[in-house]
Structure 1
């Protein structure tokens, strides 16, 4: 597992329990959670459990979502990264899934794209992956735009079993990055 990745404006590092307060700001925000398929968190202890779950993914799979720190403010502004899917989504598992989630005040600044590019490069160059997958709620235009800008190709529509929402499945091949 890589200790951290760095981009022009961001530091991407494993989440730790000290991140619980900022993660709770993110995951308790109804606007942030609108297309996630689960209700906003209501207690900070839930964020602690999320971090522990992600840390377990680091230990078991050598990868997981990382905290995104804005260099200018030194604040955790969201998360991004690759996750090894061990449970089926769209009938698919045992693939690497790109994801990202940011606080609303950091939307529209290119942070999702910047962080995702670093993780895609890490996945293809360091993990030697041939393909990275992603999925997005059909109504989440910003996320869909980001995935397309990154070169992901829409493969199919599917219904998310969590909330019955229509989603899109995307794939990016190493040779297309």
Structure 2
């Protein structure tokens, strides 16, 4: 839960991506990604980026074998900016629910080479 001055303004989750959904880099579909939901009046202030970055920075110590992914729709400008801002790198694009999806991975340490 994310609070601002004692009021709940949103939440961040770290959710496993279902194996039957498209967009995976491992056969066992072990990826998970941040989910977020914020009140509209909290949009545009960077709270989601700050909370997602904190959750992702916290995650390697608690879930060391996890790969963190993000799959926003490219038409969702805010979600795409958030994915880039917290460090997701594009791996592929695919179609789901009749629309193009962007699939990116986050690395706790910048990959070499």
Answer yes or no: same fold by TM over 0.5.
Answer: yes
Residue by residue, what CA displacement relative to the aligned partner does 1:5-64 show, whole Å, maximum 9, x if unpaired? xxxxxxxxxxxxxxxxxxxxxxxxxxxxxxxxxxxxxxxxxxxxxxxxxxxxxxxxxxxx
Q: Which has the higher contact order (CA 8 A, sep 6+)?
A: 2
What's the TM-score once normalised by structure 2's chain length? 0.81
1:128 is paired with a residue of what secondary structure? coil
2:59 aligned with 1:123, yes or no?
Answer: yes
CA 129–152 in structure 1, closer or farther in 2 if over 3 Å, else same: same
Show structure 1 runs of 4+ deviating over 2 A: 85-89, 91-94
> How many residues align structurally?
107
Aligned partners of 1:131 and 1:174 also within 8 Å: no
- Report the aligned-residue RMSD: 1.9
- 2:75 match: 139
Aligned partners of 1:130 and 1:174 also within 8 Å: no
Of Structure 1 and Structure 2, which has the larger fraction of its residues in helix? 1
- 1:16 match: none
2:90 aligned with 1:154, yes or no?
Answer: yes
Unaligned runs of 5+ residues in structure 2 are: none
> How far did residue 115 of structure 1 move?
0.9
What are the residue-to-residue correspondences of 1:66-85 with 2, within 5 Å? Answer: 68-75=1-8, 77-85=9-17
Aligned partners of 1:155 and 1:171 also within 8 Å: yes
- 1:108 match: 44
CA 144–117 in structure 1, closer or farther in 2 if over 3 Å, else same: same
Aligned partners of 1:95 and 1:132 also within 8 Å: yes
**Structure 2: distance between partners of 1:166 and 1:87:** 18
2:109 is paired with a residue of what secondary structure? helix
Aligned partners of 2:2 and 2:12 also within 8 Å: no
2:103 aligned with 1:169, yes or no?
Answer: yes
What's the TM-score once normalised by structure 1's chain length? 0.54
